[in-house]
Amino acid sequence: MTGATALSLLSVACSGGHTRGDKDPSRSEHPTTSPTVDRTPSPSPSEAPAGGSSLPTFFGSGFQPGPAFCTFHQQNVSISAGVLTVNYPAGSTAPSMGPPFGGAQICEPFSSGPLTSATLTYRIRFPTDFQFVKGGKLPGLYGGTEPFSGGGHNASGWSTRLMWRAGGEGEIYAYIAGVSGYGLDLGRGSFLWPADGQWHTVSLHVVVNSPGQSNGEAVLSLDGRVVVNSTGLEITTTGTPIGGLFFSSFYGGHDPSWSPSANMHIDFSNFSVS
């Protein structure tokens, strides 16, 4: 991240296999021991320059910079030369667990208004030393109003974020109709996120189901190759269309067993919707 300007924002206003998400018994969220972590501090809010408000406007003309919502109170990011770097300090996990705070989250509506079919495309770069640990969240799409993550549900809201899992296994992580508790894993382990220091192109295509039918779709491509193709989905029972970008990235899970033992980061760029 040499040359990047550090920002720490405060109060920024089915195929492929279906399994349950964060409550997978093999990935307990209540370990008896915590990993040893490097407690190198992350940038404090006092170090943030006045340009910290640039996160809502980073994503481009396809998205409205406001009214943005679902934001974290502390956004650990830096922006330089068209690249958004999300930082995850050692020991960080979901913000509800308290400091050290890592990751970032913001929901931005489409400039065009809600859609029944949309493709979100962006570029992502994992460093070669990236620690996948047990998993973490990556950007996707949302529909309607909160809650549609964090174990919360409502009939007029849904989301399809992406995830990395242990060893770099990838998936679409869906809060959709008929799901209770945490999210539904679509295509878990059908591909690996590449921690190779190179840019890769992600495309997430979502089609909202017709009222009363299970004909929704969630298709994920990596570098032009389809890696998850989930069809026959009932995404919404209320006809809630796709509202916009759900930029969400953090380690977790909700306990220290999900956190990295050293400071980590992921780079993002070139967000668009079609």
Can you give the pTM of this predicted structure? 0.83
**pLDDT of 30 higher than 50:** no
DSSP string, 112-146: T--BSEEEEEEEEE--TT---TTEEEEEEEEEESS
Determine the average pLDDT of the residues in 233-260. 96
pLDDT at 48: 30
80 Cβ contact partners less than 8 Å away, ≥ 6 residues apart: 1, 3, 4, 5
Q: Which residue has the higher pLDDT, 273 or 254?
A: 273
Q: Which residue has the higher pLDDT, 83 or 43?
A: 83
**pLDDT of 15 higher than 90:** no
**What is the percentage of the chain residues whose pLDDT exceeds 90?**
76
pLDDT at 67: 79
| pLDDT confidence tier of residue 132, bands split at 50, 70 and 90 | very high
Determine the average pLDDT of the residues in 26-50. 32
Question: Would you list the domain boundaries of the chain?
Answer: 9-18+51-273
Alpha-carbon distance of 89 to 259, in angstroms, equals 9
pLDDT at 53: 56
CATH no., domain 9-18+51-273: 2.60.120.200
**pLDDT of 21 higher than 60:** no
Q: Which residue has the higher pLDDT, 84 or 47?
A: 84
Determine the average pLDDT of the residues in 79-91. 97
Alpha-carbon distance of 87 to 262, in angstroms, equals 11
**pLDDT of 60 higher than 90:** yes
- Say whether 25 sits in a helix, a strand or coil: helix
Determine the average pLDDT of the residues in 47-68. 71
Alpha-carbon distance of 122 to 107, in angstroms, equals 15
